[in-house]
Amino acid sequence: MINISVMVSGGGSNLQAIMDAVADGRIADGRIALVLSSRDGVYALSRAQRAGLKTVVISKEEYKDADKKADAILAALSKAETGLVITAGYMSVIHEKVCAAYAGRMINIHPALLPKFGGLGYYGLRVHRAVLEAGEAETGATVHYVDTEGIDTGEIIMQRTVPVFADDTPETLQKRVLEEVEHDLIVEATALVVRELAAAGPGDEAAKRIARSDSDEAFERGGENGNPVE
Ligand code: GRF
């Protein structure tokens, strides 16, 4: 059984999709061990508490120092014996050492077809505004691994598309992406990754350690800024 920690910042509709899929068995071999929010008082926390899930708030107001904030996140993930981290609408910077510690075990959902419309500054409605400004005929969502190389640069796991219509606004596009593809995509990608992690089993611990020490080196090479995810 893989312990999943979900990192959130807002409404938590993707969290809800994951919770529903764990409850009805579409995500087999996984359970939600922790919901970690970058903000207090958000609806994602109410959803989690209502379902009796463990929650923690680690905010930048409380942790002004990015390094200490990363340590607090790592401690919370470790206490929950996290096997997979999902950033689902997590609107904060993730320190590189957190990404390194969970290399291959951390996935993010981004509301566009990466590698287009990803990276620094592409979050929230800005993503959808950029899609409209570029005159794209379609957009969609991407689930990808979070790596230590850059922002939204990790290996793509799954993508799904929706059409862009002539009268779309950033708001209508955001709603279409979220409701028509994101929720199904995060469930399917999570089910796949959980299945793979569960199948890897304890025998693969050595491989996991190698992956982790590789990313420690990448972290040391890579500077201090960490990866914002969206
Ligand atoms: C979604 O578009 C997600 O991709 C983005 O934030 C939006 C809201 O997500 N990162 P949620 O309702 O909080 O899951």
Q: Read off the CATH number of the domain in which 174 is found.
A: 3.40.50.170
User: Among all chains, which residue has been given the structure tokens 């996290």?
Assistant: 82
Q: Does residue 230 sit within a domain?
A: no
> What is the reported pLDDT for 162?
98
Q: Does residue 74 sit within a domain?
A: yes
State the Cα–Cα distance between residues 104 and 208, nearest whole angstrom: 8
> What is the reported pLDDT for 149?
86
Q: Which of 110, 128, 144, 183 is catalytic?
A: 110
> What is the reported pLDDT for 130?
98
Q: Does residue 50 sit within a domain?
A: yes
Q: Which two tokens stand for residue 228?
A: 């914002």
State the Cα–Cα distance between residues 162 and 172, nearest whole angstrom: 12
Task: Give the residue, out of 182, 185, 190, 229, with the most ligand 1 atoms within 8 A of its beta carbon, to mutate for a pocket test.
Answer: 182
CA 9 to ligand 1: nearest atom: 13
Q: What is the pTM of this model?
A: 0.88
Residue-wise pLDDT for 218-230, tens only, equals 333 222 233 445 5
State the Cα–Cα distance between residues 38 and 68, nearest whole angstrom: 14
Q: Does residue 65 sit within a domain?
A: yes
Please name the residue whose Cα sits nearest to atom 5 of ligand 1. 89
| Residue 42 reports pLDDT greater than 50 | yes
Q: Is the CB of 37 under 6 A from ligand 1?
A: no
Q: Which two tokens stand for residue 184?
A: 């199904």
**Neighbour count for residue 217 (Cβ, 10 Å):** 11
Q: Is the CB of 173 under 6 A from ligand 1?
A: no
3-state SS assignment for residue 161: strand
For residue 95, indicate whether it is catalytic. Answer: no
Containing structural domain, residue 160: 2-225
Q: One-letter amino acid identity for 145?
A: Y
State the Cα–Cα distance between residues 111 and 102, nearest whole angstrom: 22
Asked if residue 111 has a cis previous peptide bond (ω within 30° of 0), the answer is no
Residue 212 confidence class, pLDDT cut points 50, 70, 90: very low
Mean pLDDT of 1-6: 97
Q: Does residue 8 sit within a domain?
A: yes
Residue-wise pLDDT for 159-205, tens only, equals 999 999 999 999 999 999 999 999 999 999 999 999 999 998 764 54
More confident residue, 145 or 151: 145
Please name the residue whose Cα sits nearest to atom 9 of ligand 1. 89
Structural domain count, the chain: 1
